[in-house]
Structures are given as C-alpha cells and as structure tokens.
Amino acid sequence: MTFSRVDVAQVILGDCEYCPVDTFEAWSPVNIALCKYWGKRNGVLNLPVNDSLSVALPGKGTHTRVTRLQVGAKDIVFLNDRPVHEADSFYKKVVAHLDLFRLGRSDRFRVDTVNTIATAAGLASSASGFSALTRAVAGVQGFSLDDGALSILARLGSGSACRSIFEGFVRWHKGEAVDGMDSCAAPLSQVWPGLRLGVLTLTGSAKKVGSREGMARTVESTPLYSAWPVQAEADIAILEEAIAARDFEQLGATAEHNALTMHATMIASWPPLLYWEPESVAVMQKVWQMREDGVPVYLTMDAGPNVKLLFEAQVEGSIRQAFPDVEVVKLFP
Ligand code: 2P0
C-alpha cells in the first residue's frame, strides 16, 4: 500500500479539534547534521534510508507568520519581505504544504517568512523554513499537536525540517513503517556549552544540483551507496557516545568522516556530483594542517561548497586568526 502526503496529514490531523485563529507566528532554527541524511526509501514522504543526528544553530533560522485570508482568496507568500510569484517553485512548495492543513476546507492564508541567515551562507533554510511553516499553520488552524507530530508533518515539506522542530542535539529516527508514522526526530538531553560551529561562506552562487535530485542520483547510480547506511548507523552510535562523554575528538572525527563519506558517494555517482570548489579543498587542507599542528578542529560539509568548522571555545582565537572571515556560532547557552 502506498500513502500520499495528504493521507499522512489526514491521519495526524483528522481527529484534531479545529480552533481557527486569525494569525500565528513561529520560529525554527537551522540545523547542521553531524551524521548526514543522504538517500530516501520513499521520495514522496521524505522517508530516509538512515538515521541522522544534528545540532541546531541558536538564533539562526526562520520566523514565519501565517495569517488567515478571506475564504476564496488566493494564498499569498512573502519571502524576506518580498512577494513570491505563483509560478515560483518556492510558492508551489509552500502552498502544497498549506494544503496538508486544510483538510478539504477552503481556508486561505498569507505566509510571511523571514530567514535570519543569508541564503548565500549555504545553511539549509528549507529545514528551518518548513519547520517554522508547520508550526505556524498548525497554530493558525488551532490544531493542538505534540512535537513528534509536528516533526512528521515538517518532514513532509522537507526531510531535514523534522530535525528543526527541536533545539540542541537532535536525532531523526528513520523508522520502519510504510506510512512513516515512526519517522520523526527527537531531542537528545545533553548540552555542550563549549561547543562552537564556524561557518565559512566561500561562495554564494546557487548550486546546480539540489539535495533532492542529488540524493536520488546517488542512491540509483553508485554501488558505493550500499556502504553508506552501514557507516551512518555506526557513526550515530559513536556520536551519541561522544556527546554523552563530551569527547570532542571523537565527535569531530566522526562528524568529519561521516561528511566525507557522504561526499565520496556523491562523487562516485553518475553523472558525478561534486559540490566542492577549489576554495573548499583549500579549507580542508588548512584544517588538516591545523590538526597536525595540534589545534583540535574538524570540518563538515553539506550539499554545497561551504565548509563548517567544529571546535571548542578554548581554540576560538586560533580559529579566528586562521580564518578571519569565519562566523562563529555558540551552539548551547
Ligand atoms: C543533512 N542534507 O542531513 C543532509 C546533508 C544535505 C546534505 O538534509 O528532499 O533539503 O527536502 O528531504 O532535507 C538536505 O536535504 O531534502 C539535507 P528533502 P533536504 O542535513
């Protein structure tokens, strides 16, 4: 049996009391994966092949306000204070997500979404965006949902959005069910006040192949992909141990190895997928040289050329000296 996104939303929202309000605002953070989500077992419901584990970026993310319009009006979408045209793919994705919450009613909405991160930074705003939109539209309909249900609904918009429902360290459990009712994220209890993430924006140019297409190509075209879920499962266990023990070397090394393994599967796809630019490789080599020189710093990369550094507070001075343009994010209060 196959399930549509509307079927899943109906199961979750069908029994919710409808208590509409005029407007509702929500916020969600961006998240960076230490063990990546790469590959789907169901592309309609964004069900992943493997579990992933991320950390939220406090203060960096998306504010979304959903306002009820007159019945019969057209949905309106504003992104960063600018109207988005109906023909734009972003408009279509937002409206398709709103559709999940209408349950056959003719409710119409205005969506105002503002990202607090520059799109050029290469920090996935689709994760924070669909998470905030999920919270805001559920709020304007007055549906009372727990964070697990919100996480499942956010996933239907964009897979990694299910992790952005939560702050801190978050694990997305891939689940086994065909309808994905067990595929949602949950927060880890640990905090790590000294942990830092450094964002290096190397190029702001738009990527040629998006994650959605890139994942599908990797799953279909490289025999290396079969090794990926095996490593991801092992890495998650090691990362959870490292977080519990606050073992930075173990955390950093595992996150870096995980990211580079994901990129290896991309490079081995056909046609090949290489998100790196020469500047990305130069940063990698600099990071590896710094480690040889005794500075504990590791890197991670997503489906783009920009590099994120992982380090602890005591080496922040060395990191800023080596990378004057780095934007340092404190991950926990
Ligand atoms: C991650 N990425 O775990 C991985 C690492 C990119 C590289 O999650 O198709 O935008 O909407 O489910 O969530 C980006 O994938 O893809 C992503 P869809 P999504 O952060």
33 CB within 6 A, ligand 1:
yes
Most informative mutation of 211, 262, 274, 302 for ligand 1 (most atoms within 8 A of CB): 211
Backbone torsion region of residue 82, taken as left when φ is above 0, otherwise alpha when ψ lies between -120 and 50, otherwise beta: beta
Measured CA to CA, the distance from residue 78 to residue 84 in angstroms comes to 6
The larger pLDDT score, comparing residue 47 to residue 118, is at 47
CA atoms within a 13 Å half-sphere pointing along the CA-CB vector of 284: 14
Q: Is the CB of 168 under 6 A from ligand 1?
A: no
Please compute the mean of the pLDDT values over residues 114-124 and round it to a whole number: 73
Q: What confidence tier does 130 reach under pLDDT thresholds 50, 70, 90?
A: very high
* Tally of CB atoms within 10 A around 1: 5
Report, as an integer, the average pLDDT of 116-140.
86
Binning pLDDT at 50, 70 and 90, where does residue 117 land? Answer: confident
- Ligand 1 atom 15 nearest Cα: 211
* The model's pTM: 0.97
Q: Evaluate: CB of 300 within 6 angstroms of ligand 1.
A: no
Nearest-CA residue for atom 11 of ligand 1: 158
Q: How many CA atoms lie within 13 A of 79 on its CB side?
A: 17
State pLDDT tens for residues 226-266.
Answer: 999 999 999 999 999 999 999 999 999 999 999 999 999 99
pLDDT band at 208 (very low <50, low <70, confident <90, very high): confident
Distance 216 CA to ligand 1 centre (A): 11
Q: What are phi and psi of 130, to 5 degrees?
A: -70, -30
Closest ligand 1 atom to 40 CA: 12
Atom of ligand 1 nearest to the CA of 212: 9
Cβ 126 under 6 angstroms from ligand 1: yes
Strands, sheet with 327-330, edge to edge from the N-terminal-most edge strand: 298-301, 307-312, 195-200, 327-330
Atom of ligand 1 nearest to the CA of 158: 11
CA of 26 to the centre of ligand 1 (A): 21
The three-class DSSP label of residue 114 is strand
pLDDT digits (tens, 9 = 90+) for 63-113: 999 999 998 899 999 999 999 999 999 999 999 999 999 999 999 999 999
pLDDT at 120: 54
Q: What is the dihedral of CA 110, 116, 121, 122, to 10 degrees?
A: -50
From the centroid of its chain, how far is CA 120? 16
For ligand 1, atom 20, which residue shows the shortest CA distance? 33
Q: Which two tokens stand for residue 329?
A: 């994010």
* Ligand 1 pocket member 302 (CB < 6 A): yes
